[in-house]
Amino acid sequence: MTRRVALFAIDAGNRFLLEEWAREGHLPNLRGLLARGLKGRTMSLPGLFTGATWPAFQTGVNPARNGVFSWMQIVPGTYEERRCLTGEALKREPFWNHLGRAGRRVTVLDIPLSGVSTGLNGVQLVEWGAHDAQYGFRTWPPQLAREVESRFGRHPMPSSCNADRDTAGYIDLRDRLVAGVRKRSQVMQHFLRKNDWHFFAQAFSESHCVGHQCWHLHDPAHPRHDAAQARAVGDPIFDVYRAIDAAIGDALGCLDDETTVVVLASHGMGYKYGPQVLVDRILLGLGVAAPAPAAPPAPPMQRRRDALDPLLTWGWQHMPKALQTLLGPVRAPLRDWMLPDRPAPPPLVDPAASLCFRVENNHAHAGLRVNLIGREPRGRVAPGAEYEAFCETLARDLGDIVDLDTGKRVVSRVLRTDDLYRGEHRDVLPDLLVEWSDYAPISRIRIGSPRLPEISGEYKFCRTGDHFPGGMFVAAGPGLPTGTLDRTVSIMDFAPTFCAMLGVDLPDVDGVPIEALVAPASSNAVARA
């Protein structure tokens, strides 16, 4: 009889909080799985993990082979970056397509950064509630979308959770996310009870959103922590994790004892760190980037709006709650008038005139692309010895930069992409990955070095939490041992593992099956708990 495997993914869940709160009994369903199952550590893609995690999970190959590493990627042959829609950009199929063609029926619900698999042997929901959605709600088969929305409605959160919030706003965010988990649980149970699947997957994106927006409420040491606000709101991360644990309990109630259950916290979450906001100025200060031409001045009306915006924001934040409630209906139209199709800030760097330039990657690692002759339209650095010498010198200069208030180095290391990733789509990736030191959450920072004049800046964006690369998993089911896996597994290992568990070979991948899950009786790589 073919095994049945059910995956429950906690998107960007912090493994330390999950284990701590499970141990303390706050997450009873996860605690039960940890007590009777096989647990292990996971690691995402070095230097690229934020945007690369879920594409690598789906395909079992690294970003240089699947073609996706970030939400924005450079258009080959240009200096332009465009939004990367994973469903179109991914150069490898998700593993559930292989399962379907091998006769295994699948149910795949809301795996992040996935497109619709047309013709899938089973059911797929894409972005029924998603963090930073790419498409909006879609399904396979297409008519399923209408059925789901008529039965369950829409997710309570909009597709993006980014916003500056006051205390009432954080309470509303927490309540919407918890309500979203509970409604997602209803959707999940509906499909779990359809016993025509061999592989089932459900991802919870609410953990991703709450980690970005509410880390300062959870962490008293965070520069933006407000004790009075934290007392009023509580800890939204705790509340959302509790709701997810309850939803996993609901799911377990729909499964029989012969189903193998896997809970995966994909890539982690913690405080936001690193002077990412200063990268362009760092490159300019080191003399490896050229400044962009001056932008034309903003029109007079926009300048007046820009001057008025912070005053209105301050007034709203200090307004009595009763008056906020009274004026709430007119606030949104006013904000729309204040921020009408505002253009992006003008660039600081001209990539075509520079030796290297920044490309979108993640806030833990700056992605730098060398303006390479023969690859870029107006390349300035020759391949070979000149390229190698440039990268070596730049890495050394970046490593010398320190926080002028603490004396600590702000760069942990500079990774060379060519040392990490090989594949036919390597040229879409950055060349250098600047790994920031995580010694403190980012706030206002002054940096400099013998070669870099003092630069200062302040991080003001609404996200107070961001990604760390490590995660965890626990698996429980027939024949699986109890204990801890003796190695850290790659996020790329899960695609071939799930296929092998269901008797399907997934060829030509970078990941390797986790033997303790595929053939537990023959594995010795487990330390008993």
CA atoms within 13 A of residue 255's CA, in its CB half-sphere = 25
Distances (CA, A) of 281 to 94, 301, 347: 39, 29, 11
The residue ranges of every structural domain in the chain are: 4-64+93-271+466-528, 276-292+348-458
Q: Which of 13-27, 104-118, 314-328 has the lowest mean pLDDT?
A: 314-328
Q: What does DSSP say about strands 483-485 and 38-43: parallel, antiparallel, or unpaired?
A: parallel
- Quote the CA–CA distance of 298 and 453 in Å, as a whole number: 29
By three-state DSSP, how is residue 388 classified? Answer: helix
pLDDT at 314 over 70: no
482 Cβ contact list (under 8 Å, min separation 6)? 35, 36, 37, 38, 528, 529
Amino acid 237 reads I
* Whether 269 contacts 433, CB under 8 Å: no
* Whether 73 contacts 360, CB under 8 Å: yes
**Token pair of 94, please?**
């998700």
Amino acid 46 reads P
pLDDT at 442 over 80: yes
**What per-residue confidence (pLDDT) applies to 237?**
98
**Token pair of 253, please?**
């109630």
316 Cβ contact list (under 8 Å, min separation 6)? 166, 324, 331
463 Cβ contact list (under 8 Å, min separation 6)? 162, 212, 213, 272
As a whole number of Å, the end-to-end CA separation of the chain is 30
Provide the percentage of residues in the chain whose pLDDT is more than 90. 75
Q: How does DSSP classify residue 313?
A: H
pLDDT at 327 over 80: no
- Quote the CA–CA distance of 10 and 370 in Å, as a whole number: 36
List pLDDT tens digits, range 233-258: 999 999 999 999 999 999 999 999 99
Mean pLDDT of 398-425: 96
**What per-residue confidence (pLDDT) applies to 333?**
62
**Token pair of 186, please?**
């209803």
List pLDDT tens digits, range 461-493: 899 988 888 999 999 999 999 999 999 999 999
pLDDT at 114 over 80: yes
By three-state DSSP, how is residue 442 classified? Answer: coil
- Quote the CA–CA distance of 415 and 17 in Å, as a whole number: 29
**What per-residue confidence (pLDDT) applies to 131?**
81
Query: Which residue's entry shows tokens 């609410």?
Result: 206
Q: Tell me the pLDDT of the chain averaged across its residues.
A: 91
Helices 206-218 and 167-192 cross at an angle (nearest 10°) of 150
- Quote the CA–CA distance of 330 and 362 in Å, as a whole number: 36
List pLDDT tens digits, range 255-287: 999 999 999 998 889 888 888 899 999 999 999
**What per-residue confidence (pLDDT) applies to 376?**
97
**What per-residue confidence (pLDDT) applies to 529?**
47
* Whether 197 contacts 122, CB under 8 Å: yes
29 Cβ contact list (under 8 Å, min separation 6)? 245, 246, 248, 249, 252
Q: Which of 126-140, 214-228, 512-526 has the lowest mean pLDDT?
A: 512-526
**What per-residue confidence (pLDDT) applies to 128?**
93
| CATH architecture for residues 4-64+93-271+466-528 | 3-Layer(aba) Sandwich (3.40)
- pLDDT-derived band at 299 (thresholds 50, 70, 90) equals low
